Structure 1
Amino acid sequence: MFVDSATLDLIIRSFLLAALAICWVVILVRINGLRSFSKMTNFDFVMTIAMGSLLAGASQSTSWSAFFQSGLAMATLFLVQYSTANIRQSSDRFESWMQNAPVILMRDGVILEAALKETRVAKSDLIAKLREANVLEFSKVRAVILETTGDISVLHGSDCNEELLQGTCHIKSAE
Structure 2
Amino acid sequence: MPEWLDVAVRSFFFVIVLFLITKLLGKKQISELSFFEYATGISIGNIGAEVAIGLERNIVHGIIGIVIFAAIPFLSGLFSLKSKKFRDFVEGTGTVFIKDGKIMEDNLKKERYTSDELLQLLRKKDVYQVSDVEFAVLEATGDLSVMLKKENQPLTAKDLNLTVASIKEPQTVIMDGVIMDEPLATIGRSRAWLHTELEKLGVTVENVFLGQINSFGELTVDLFDDKLQVASPQERPLILSTLKKCQADLELFTLGTESKEAKQMYRINSEKLQEAIEKVTPILRG
Q: Match for residue 121 of structure 2?
A: 129
Question: Which of the numbers 72, 77, 84 marks the counterpart of 1:80?
Answer: 72
C-alpha contact (below 8 Å) 1:135/1:156 kept by paired residues: no
- Structure-2 change in CA distance of 1:144 and 1:57 (3 Å): farther
Q: RCO (CA 8 Å, sep 6+): is it higher in 1 or 2?
A: 1
Distance 1:31 1:140, change over 3 A: same
Q: 2:89 aligns with which of 93, 97, 107?
A: 97
| Residue pairs, 1:91-170, within 5 angstroms | 91-149=83-141, 151-159=142-150
Q: Which residue of 1 aligns with 2:158?
A: none
Partner of 1:52: 45
In structure 2, the CA distance between the partners of 1:68 and 1:143, relative to structure 1 (3 Å rule), is: farther
Give the distance between the partners of 1:35 and 1:137, measured in 2 at CA.
Answer: 33
Deviation at 1:21, TM superposition (A): 0.8
Amino-acid identity (%): 16
1:73–1:38 distance in 2 versus 1, CA, 3 Å: farther
How far apart in 2 are the matches of 1:146 and 1:95?
17
CA RMSD of aligned residues (A): 2.2
- TM-score for both structures, normalised by structure 2: 0.47
Which 10-residue stretch deviates more, 81-90 or 49-58? Answer: 49-58
Q: Which residue of 1 aligns with 2:276?
A: none
Residue 128 of structure 1 and its aligned partner are, at CA, apart by: 1.0
What TM-score, normalized by structure 1, do the two folds share? 0.73
Whether the 8 Å contact between 1:87 and 1:94 is mirrored in structure 2 is yes
Per the TM alignment, residue 26 of structure 1 is displaced from its structure 2 partner at its CA by 1.0
Shift of 1:22: 1.0
- Going from structure 1 to structure 2, the CA distance change for 1:154 and 1:99 (only over 3 Å counts) comes to closer
Q: Extract unaligned runs of 5+ from structure 1.
A: 4-8, 160-175
Distance 1:99 1:73, change over 3 A: same
Residue identity opposite 2:90 in structure 1: M
Count of residue pairs the alignment pairs up: 150
Question: What SS does structure 1 have at the residue aligned with 2:11?
Answer: helix
Give the distance between the partners of 1:61 and 1:68, measured in 2 at CA: 13
User: Counterpart of 1:155 in structure 2: which amino acid?
Assistant: V
User: What is the distance in 2 between the residues matched to 1:133 and 1:104?
Assistant: 16
For 2:110 and 2:27, how far apart are their aligned partners in 1? 33
TM-aligned CA deviation for residue 64 of structure 1: 5.3
Is the 8 Å Cα contact of residues 37 and 44 (structure 1) preserved in structure 2? no
Whether the 8 Å CA contact 1:105–1:145 is kept in 2: the answer is yes
Look up the equivalent residue of 1:79 and give its one-letter code: A
The one of 18, 41, 56 aligned to 1:25: 18
- Which residue does the alignment assign to 2:54? 61
Is the contact between residue 42 and residue 148 of structure 1 (CA under 8 Å) also seen in structure 2? no
